[in-house]
Chain A
C-alpha cells in the first residue's frame, strides 16, 4: 500500500527538480580567422609573380568572424618577401593591397575607408559583429624586368586578430 505512494511522491519530486533545471549560457567575445582561399601566384611575365586573376593568379581570401562589436582589430599584412624561393641575386619589388571583398552586415561598408595603413600592414577595427571577407593582392617584380629563376616561390600573408 505504501509502495505506490512512495513511487508517486518520488515521481512528483523528480518532476519538480526537472522543472527547476536551469540553462545557463555565456556569450563571450570571440574572433576566428578563417583561411577561405589560399592564394596562387600567376607568372604572366618572366619577371613577375602576381595574384591577379587575369594573369593566372588567385587572390587569397581570409574571413574574420567576430561575435561582438568593438572588441577586436584585424591586422593583415600582404607579403614583402618570399618564405621560400630559389636563390635570388637581385632585388624583388613588392606591391600589394588588402580590401574588404564581402561582408555579412552593410554597416561594415566603411571598413576600407577607415582602415589604417602603414608599410605592408592594413589595420581594421571590427566595429560590427559578423563576418568580413578580406581579399589580398600581391605582386612581385624581379630586378629590372629580370627573369625569376625557375623554382617554387612561396609568400605568406599574415592575418592577426588583436583584442582592443
Chain B
C-alpha cells in the first residue's frame, strides 16, 4: 500500500519537477588522452522553467574546469537531455549539478529555484 501511494505521488507530481540521474555517475576514459568523461540525464518537468545551468564543483563547492556542449541550455517542459561532461584526468570534481534559471516575473511572488546534484565517488 505504501508503495502504491508512493507510485501515485511520483506519477502525479511531475507537473513541476526537476530530476538528474544517475545519482553517482562514474568517470571513464574518453576518446581524448588525459580526459575523462561521464554522462548524465536530466528531465525537466517544471512548466515554469526553460533554462538550466550546469555546475561542476569540488567537495568544498568550488568551481572546477569542465567542458560540455552547453553550460547553459534550454530544455522545454517534459523534455529529456543527455549531458556529456568532460573533465581533466586529475580533476577534483565531486558534484555535478543542474540549476534552474528563473526569468524575471511580473507578479509579487517568491519563486522556487531548484538545484539537483550528482556526486562522483
Chain A interface (Cβ within 8 Å of chain B)? 28-36, 38-41, 43, 49, 51, 58, 60, 62-63, 65, 71-72, 79, 83-84, 104-105, 129-131, 136, 138, 152-164
Closest CB in chain B relative to A94 CB, distance in Å: 12
Q: Is the CB of A71 within 8 A of B112?
A: no
The 7 closest A-B pairs by CB, nearest first: A39-B110, A163-B119, A35-B112, A33-B114, A160-B115, A29-B23, A34-B17
User: With A and B bound together, what is the CA distance between A35 and B17 in angstroms?
Assistant: 7
Q: Please tell me if B60 contacts chain A, counting CB pairs below 8 Å.
A: no
Q: Is the CB of B108 within 8 A of A157?
A: no
Chain B interface (Cβ within 8 Å of chain A)? 2, 5-6, 9-10, 13-24, 46, 48, 95, 97, 102, 104-119
Residues of A within 8 A of B109 (CB): 38-41, 58, 154
Q: Count the A-B residue pairs with Cβ separation under 8 angstroms: how many? A: 137
Q: Is the CB of B112 within 8 A of A62?
A: yes
A-B pairs with beta carbons under 8 Å apart, 7 shown? A31-B116, A34-B16, A63-B13, A131-B6, A156-B112, A161-B114, A163-B118
Residues of B within 8 A of A153 (CB): 108
Residues of B within 8 A of A33 (CB): 17-19, 114-116
